[in-house]
Amino acid sequence: MLTEILGVVVMFVATLLLAYPLGKYISNVYAGKKTFLDVVFAPLERLFFRVSGIDDQKEMSWQANLYAMLTINAVWFVLCFVVLVMQGVLPLNPDKNPSMSADLAFNTAISFVVNCNLQHYSGESGLSYFGQMMLMFLQFVSAGTGMAVCAMLFKAMLQKGKNELGNFYSFFLKSCTRVLLPLSFIVAVILLFNGSPMTWAGKENLITLQGDTVQVSQGPVAGFVAIKHIGTNGGGFFGANSAHPLENPNYFTNIVQMIAQMIVPFAMIFALGFYLNRKRLAWNIFAVMSIGFWLLVLPTLYTEMQGSPTIARTGIMQNVGAMEGKEVRFGVMASAYWSIATTVISTGSVNSMHDSAMPISGAMQMLAMMTNCFYGGCGVGILNYYVFIILAVFISGLMVGRTPEFLGKKVEAKEVKIAALVAILHPLFILAGTALATYFASQNTEMGVWYGGKATGWLNNPNYHGFSEMLYEYTSASANNGSGFEGLGDNNLFWNITTGIILLLSRFLPIIAPIAIAGALAQKKYIPESAGTLQTDNATFGTMVFVVIFIIAALSFFPALALGPFAEYFSTI
């Protein structure tokens, strides 16, 4: 057990040590300063902009930047949808996998465009290599989109009376070329040398130890898995995701993938500090996020190490913890740690079966996505946290009788209303979707084209755990996470359409709103800090932000959690 605990500590500390200098590098990239990769990528970027006719030096308003972001994402969605519904007749399909149905292609295309990667299919049987490469492309550009928008937020925080938030196209391309591509290349090479395949060949016939001939799927796995984690995407090349031995061969690759999915979210926090020259603010944000993270990790580690009370009552020893649904090569602690990291960061990849986790662990996994602001995905984690900063500044100002200010700008009714709306939308999407699914499941009626059978066919566990499965699915969709309690039968018209709609709304509304707030603040007159200015980089304000996050999560989600994982927990004891 001591070795497993040490492994968890090493993963976190190593990520932090690597993320700090990466944050400085990212800050230099967005600030237009010289970096060591200029000699490689600067000529390529200039060629791209020359061919496309885009003026990357043109300063754009927040409205123009968001219009560019939404337009290009719409193009990617259409392109991906067409590829998925036609992949059966397109090249690079050695295993002759069929085309996707329209509703599944709709859900998949949206999911990868919005950086969620919710998968209602199994990769080795549901996609051709051409389809996998299309999704791999989206894993780059969706992560680059989030990072570019975050760079716009950095720019807005520096502006004093101007409505100029940089250039989305420039921030986007640099995010992909200067950050995501080099890091993905390093991770892909490590995976390649540890046994992950990188080939265009189809299934290979192998003879097992007992003499059976089986077909083993392969493909360009190493490159796909690298960007799935560096870009906090999480979509698996295989249905088992990072529990599959070709995606995640051993404990060392498990550490590499764990660091890979956390490093950019960590680095973006420090990039903010370097970009604004407010390192204390960055450390304050990181401290609050880390406290929230470990408050979710520790109960998960403890409950998984205790094992299942139900199995314990049979007299079976569980010296290594609750091993159902977990890989022996990783162990309980690394699997439990991964389950919270992947839900906090919105990666959504799994190295164990979350559906098999203990009830308290499942509750912590869902709560990580419900708060949706501790580290978060590439760039968007900062955006989500920014909303709570605005709310905390407003509430703190009222409490001490001062005009709410953040970084020298007055926070007024307009900004607070937008922030409050975004904070409310997240629980609305989750709880409304879960209520709708629960209603249909409880009616036990024929649903026609919506399902083609009885809604109870969704659930292999129609009790407390069945409710948790539905709650988890909509939580994952709203948090743009992508992981799931895989006991749920979700590849049908109802789940593909409803989660697809939530995926769209929960990706772009929380992006538009913080940029609208930042854009409005950027145009306001700068007020120099004085003795009466509310400090936003000390422990007191950090505590205030944490309390606001906790109150919103507690009031919104604990009743639903009480009906699912908490009820299941008490039923086991």
pLDDT at 315: 84
Instruction: Tell me the β-bridge partners of 213.
Output: 207
Q: Do the beta carbons of residue 150 and residue 268 sit within 8 Å?
A: yes
Q: How far is CA 449 from CA 260, 337, 364, in A?
A: 41, 40, 35
Q: What is the pLDDT of residue 316?
A: 85
How far is residue 307's CA from residue 360's CA, in Å, rounded to a whole number? 12
Q: Going by C-beta distance under 8 Å and a sequence separation of 6 or more, which residues neighbour residue 261?
A: 229, 230, 232, 234, 341, 342, 345, 347, 349
Six token digits for residue 400: 């001490």
Question: CB neighbours of 134 closer than 8 A, spacing ≥ 6?
Answer: 79, 80, 83, 84
pLDDT on residue 109: 97
- Rounded-to-10 torsion of CA 293, 295, 297, 303: -160
Q: State how far the Cα of 387 lies from the Cα of 134, in Å rounded to an integer.
A: 33
CB 56 within 8 Å of CB 167: yes
CA–CA distance, 406 with 163 (Å, rounded to integer): 17
pLDDT for res 462: 76
Q: What angle do CA 472, 383, 513 make, to 5 degrees?
A: 95
Looking at residue 442, its pLDDT comes to: 74
The pLDDT of residue 400:
76
pLDDT at residue 160, rounded to an integer:
84
| DSSP conformation class of 455 | G
Q: Please count the CA atoms within 13 angstroms of the CA of 341 that sit on its side-chain side.
A: 31
Q: How far apart are alpha carbons 178 and 86 in whole angstroms? A: 33
Cα(155)–Cα(174) distance, rounded to whole angstroms?
Answer: 15
pLDDT digit string, tens, across residues 445-504:
555 444 545 666 778 787 899 899 999 999 999 999 999 888 888 888 889 999 999 999
Q: Which of 454, 458, 462 is nearest to 486 (CA)?
A: 458
User: pLDDT by residue (tens digit) across 370-409?
Assistant: 998 899 889 888 999 999 999 999 998 888 777 788 888 8
| CB neighbours of residue 98 within 10 Å | 13
| CA–CA distance, 392 with 404 (Å, rounded to integer) | 9
- Give dist(CA 439, CA 42) in Å, integer: 55
The residues near 324 (Cβ < 8 Å, ≥ 6 apart) are 308, 353, 356
What is d(CA 367, CA 339) in angstroms, rounded to the nearest whole number? 12
The interaxial angle of helices 359-371 and 279-306, nearest 10 deg, is 160
- Integer Cα distance of 504 and 480 in angstroms: 9
Residue ranges of alpha helices (H) inside 321-459 are: 331-344, 359-371, 380-400, 413-443
Count the alpha carbons within 13 Å of 398 in the hemisphere toward its beta carbon: 10
Q: Which residues in the chain land under pLDDT 70?
A: 1, 444-456, 531-532
413-443 vs 359-371: helix axis angle to the nearest 10?
140
Phi, psi (deg, nearest 5) at residue 405: -135, 145
Phi–psi pair at 103, nearest 5 degrees? -70, -35
